[in-house]
């Protein structure tokens, strides 16, 4: 029998993206944390567990030795929702297979990769199950498989699902692994599980394959947050659930008291929290139990940090597609849910919640506390040309009625074994690719851009934007949070820093900003030109005539109100 205290274990995170679970940097999913905790619970010392991301292996060939030399190598990954990513690039099948070939010890693969592998991580693709040459594939939970494999002396395991009692132990015990993440501590957001599984059975979704919702107790989630907080984490998202409003209830009906205990407890153990966001909220819950939902939404908006997004899985506004794919919410119901979230949480820090939703010149200069986001999925059964019209009409109505959406996510289906869409595959998505591209462009131009101007008008301040990369003479960065805005800033600034930014212009899904507050006595020509109303000629005049004592003095000179963007620092004074 192998002594677990002598085992060297390497975990490689290939990243995950599921309907109710996200783990692409700057996010870290629950899987590596739970797996590390399970290994410790099975007797493996924490100091003998090494964690790497797939991007680390790409950037440093020397770290492949940790894969080769481990007694047990565990790969965690899998994409069941297609997306585009800035902070990291999910592992491709060929890379995963190379890891299996490299590992001299026992190799285990798990996570949503168990549902299937495609030729690439993209929408409009078909998948099939593949062991990618690993010794073992966890067809249940990878964390349970890792525990059982160590318990058996690396001989094998049953493909079982873990239970909440095990997660009560493993979640907190595995918190240490985040310290090995390359983004730790400043640019890392921990995905938190409140439940998994779903009571509904939409044709395309893998979440029901986990069964009906199974809720963790608030004390368990709070203890995990506390453990992660003690390890340096300051950013959290309650994203691992199908519906945050249903937390602590029967799987469908809201339970505001459970939300109050959960959010209040998190705030208590993490007093210096930087981000507290969520992800999924089911619009059918909001319309079926409107008063309980309103109370729950108010609880969330009271405790969260600004810029939060509740992803609504409308998927299609076409009644034919809704019927053929068991979608649980109609366009009319989803519109009502959008309205309710706007009314209860569409206010901004510094404002009275009774005034929501707020936008325009008189709105406070921060993002709203919580807004809905709409998911639209194409390539589903019954999709036709009219489907695209129904979706455009729905989005147009939301805008015309004076409501706000934080973002519209448009993607094409991935077909997985175990779902109804497996019978159809990617045929419909492929047939409609040209139509899909045209429609997507129209939504970006006609809805996304004006909506973004409403959500984040010029002068909106985005605190703590992390500077990530340079492109075309600009620096790009994002805040930590759910679906953060991509911000382009004039000039090439030092990467890895965090700065406050004021919005000056809008793209389809991104904004242009300048450092906030911008010192007009030291600002560059590009920064000044970016401020609305200045332009190149006036910006040039600003530079020629500075220094200025106050922004008001400058405003009188150029006849432009700069109070939302600028300050005037006396030359030679400290910042």
User: What are the pLDDT digits (tens) for 329-354?
Assistant: 999 999 999 999 999 999 999 998 88
Q: What is the 3-state secondary structure (H, E, C) of 278-311?
A: ECECCHHHHHHCHHHHHHHHHHHHHHCCCCEEEE
**Cα–Cα distance between 199 and 197 in angstroms, integer?**
7
> Nearest Cα to 338, choosing from 404, 254, 263?
404
Q: pTM for the whole thing?
A: 0.92
Q: Is 519 strand, coil or helix? A: strand
Residue 530 clears pLDDT 90, i.e. is over it: yes
531 to 247, 502, 520, 527, 570: CA distances (angstroms): 44, 10, 11, 7, 21
Angle (deg, nearest 10), helices 164-173 and 30-41: 90
- State the DSSP code for 351: S
Residue 225 clears pLDDT 70, i.e. is over it: yes
pLDDT tens digit string along 381-424? 888 999 999 999 999 999 999 999 999 999 887 666 666 666 66
56 to 25, 95, 154, 232, 285: CA distances (angstroms): 12, 13, 27, 21, 41
Residue 66 clears pLDDT 70, i.e. is over it: yes
At residue 159, the pLDDT reads 87
CB 358 within 8 A of CB 368: yes
pLDDT (average), residues 538-550: 87
Residue 129 clears pLDDT 70, i.e. is over it: no
User: Per residue in 286-296, is it b (16+ CB within 10 Å) or e — as a string?
Assistant: bbbbeebbbbb
Q: Which residue has the higher pLDDT, 84 or 54?
A: 54
Residue 537: enclosing H or E segment and its boundaries?
A: helix 535-545
Cis-peptide, bond into residue 46, ω within 30° of zero: no
Residue 98 clears pLDDT 50, i.e. is over it: yes
Mean pLDDT of the chain: 90
Give the gyration radius of the chain's Cα atoms. 24
């Amino acid at each position: 029998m192998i002594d677990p205290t002598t085992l060297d274990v390497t975990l490689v995170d290939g990243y995950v993206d599921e309907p109710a679970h996200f783990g692409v940097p700057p996010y870290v999913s629950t899987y590596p944390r739970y797996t590390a905790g399970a290994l410790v619970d099975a007797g493996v010392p924490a100091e003998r567990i090494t964690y790497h991301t797939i991007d680390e292996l790409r950037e440093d060939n020397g770290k492949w030795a940790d894969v080769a030399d481990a007694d047990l190598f565990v790969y965690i990954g899998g994409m069941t929702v297609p997306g585009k990513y800035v902070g990291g690039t999910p592992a491709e099948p060929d890379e995963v297979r190379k890891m299996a070939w490299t590992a001299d010890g026992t190799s285990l693969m798990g996570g949503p990769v168990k549902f299937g592998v495609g030729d690439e991580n993209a929408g409009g693709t078909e998948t099939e199950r593949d062991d990618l040459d690993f010794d073992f594939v966890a067809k249940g939970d990878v964390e349970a498989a890792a525990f059982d494999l160590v318990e058996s002396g690396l001989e094998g395991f049953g493909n079982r699902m873990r239970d909440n009692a095990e997660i009560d132990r493993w979640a907190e015990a595995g918190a240490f692994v985040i310290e090995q993440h390359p983004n730790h501590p400043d640019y890392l957001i921990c995905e938190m599980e409140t439940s998994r599984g779903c009571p509904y059975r939409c044709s395309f979704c893998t979440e029901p394959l986990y069964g009906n919702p199974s809720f963790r107790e608030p004390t368990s989630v709070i203890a995990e947050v506390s453990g992660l907080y003690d390890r340096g984490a300051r950013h959290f998202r309650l994203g691992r659930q199908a519906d945050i409003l249903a937390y602590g209830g029967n799987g469908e009906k809201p339970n505001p008291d459970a939300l109050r205990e959960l959010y209040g407890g998190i705030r208590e153990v993490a007093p210096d929290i930087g981000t507290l966001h969520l992800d999924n909220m089911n619009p059918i819950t909001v319309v079926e139990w409107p008063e309980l939902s309103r109370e729950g939404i108010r609880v969330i908006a009271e405790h969260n940090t600004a810029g939060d997004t509740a992803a609504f899985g409308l998927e299609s506004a076409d009644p034919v597609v809704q019927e053929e794919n068991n979608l649980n919410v109609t366009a009319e119901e989803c519109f009502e849910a959008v309205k309710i979230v706007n009314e209860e949480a569409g206010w901004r820090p510094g404002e009275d919640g009774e005034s929501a939703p707020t936008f325009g010149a008189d709105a406070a200069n921060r993002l709203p506390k919580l807004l809905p986001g709409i998911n639209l999925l194409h390539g589903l059964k019954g999709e036709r040309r009219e489907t695209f019209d129904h979706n455009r009409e729905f989005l147009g109505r939301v805008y015309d009625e004076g409501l706000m959406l934080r973002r519209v996510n448009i993607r094409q289906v991935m077909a997985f074994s175990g779902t109804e869409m497996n019978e159809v595959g990617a045929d419909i998505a492929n047939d409609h690719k040209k139509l899909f591209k045209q429609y997507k462009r129209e939504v970006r131009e006609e809805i996304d851009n004006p909506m973004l101007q409403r959500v984040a008008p010029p002068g909106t301040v985005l605190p703590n934007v992390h500077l990530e990369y340079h492109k075309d003479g600009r620096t790009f960065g994002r805040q930590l949070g759910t679906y953060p805005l991509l911000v382009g800033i004039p000039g090439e600034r030092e990467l890895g820093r965090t700065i406050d930014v004021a919005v000056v212009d809008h793209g389809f899904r991104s904004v242009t900003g300048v450092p906030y507050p911008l010192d007009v006595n030291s600002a560059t020509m590009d920064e000044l030109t970016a401020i609305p109303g200045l332009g190149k000629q006036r910006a040039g005049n600003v530079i020629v005539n500075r220094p200025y004592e106050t922004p008001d003095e400058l405003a009188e000179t150029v006849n432009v109100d700069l109070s939302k963007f600028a300050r005037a620092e006396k030359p030679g004074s400290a910042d």
